[in-house]
Amino acid sequence: MYFGVQELEQRKILFEVSIPPGEIEYLEDLRQISPIETQGSVELLGNTLGEIRVRGHLKVTMGALCDRCLEQAQIPLDSDFDLFYRPPQEAGHPAAEVELHEGEAEIAFYDGDGLQLNDILREYVILSMPMHKVCSEACLGICPVCGQNRNLKVCACEEKPVDDRWAALKSLIN
């Protein structure tokens, strides 16, 4: 679904779509398991020289490797979004370092004369993924000695004691 600036100048656009897995490409280690169910609105903000606001709700289940055991993990995302997009600052000039003012760090830029919904959703899903992806909070991970997945089989490996020179740093964590 494409939202053109010329159309947005006329009216606010409402959307409600379901995007099946495989239609949006993600990072190598990230895949879409369920359809993206999303609804919302897109509008051109007045007196902003082309700033577009996209708000709505997104629900999807994503799949990624568990950071602890390397098995597949399912990560449900169900949240509201409120995004702002601006046209490039000065058309025709190469990108240069500019000072960002308060609030501008959360504004993205669009090229051309509009926005593609799939691009917006792809970016939002990637940024919404948790830093540490785990299959479950109770995941035991992989044995650092033998490499066995501790969720599937208990191993009898002995872990080496921690070097005493680092004991003072361990107290900072607790």
Q: What is the pLDDT of residue 72?
A: 93
Q: What is the pLDDT of residue 65?
A: 93
Residue 172 C-beta-side C-alpha neighbours within 13 Å: 4
Phi, psi at 131, each rounded to 5°: -60, -45
Q: What is the pLDDT of residue 31?
A: 92
- 117 SS3 class: helix
Return the ∠ at Cα 16 (arms to 62 and 115), rounded to 5°: 80
Its pTM stands at 0.73
Distance CA 147, CA 123 (A): 34
Closest CA to 62 of 22, 21, 33: 33
Closest CA to 54 of 37, 36, 41, 38: 41
145: left (phi over 0), alpha (psi -120 to 50) or beta: alpha
Q: Say how many residues make up the chain.
A: 174
| Residue segments in the chain with a per-residue pLDDT below the cut of 70 | 89-106, 161-162, 174
Two tokens, residue 161 = 């004691």
How do residues 105-132 score in pLDDT, each as one tens digit? 567 777 778 888 899 999 999 989 999 9
Contacts within 8 Å (CB) and 24+ apart, 166-169: none
Distance CA 152, CA 167 (A): 32
Two tokens, residue 128 = 């919404």
Return the ∠ at Cα 96 (arms to 5 and 120), rounded to 5°: 35
Q: What is the pLDDT of residue 60?
A: 95
Radius of gyration over every alpha carbon of the chain, rounded to an integer in angstroms: 22
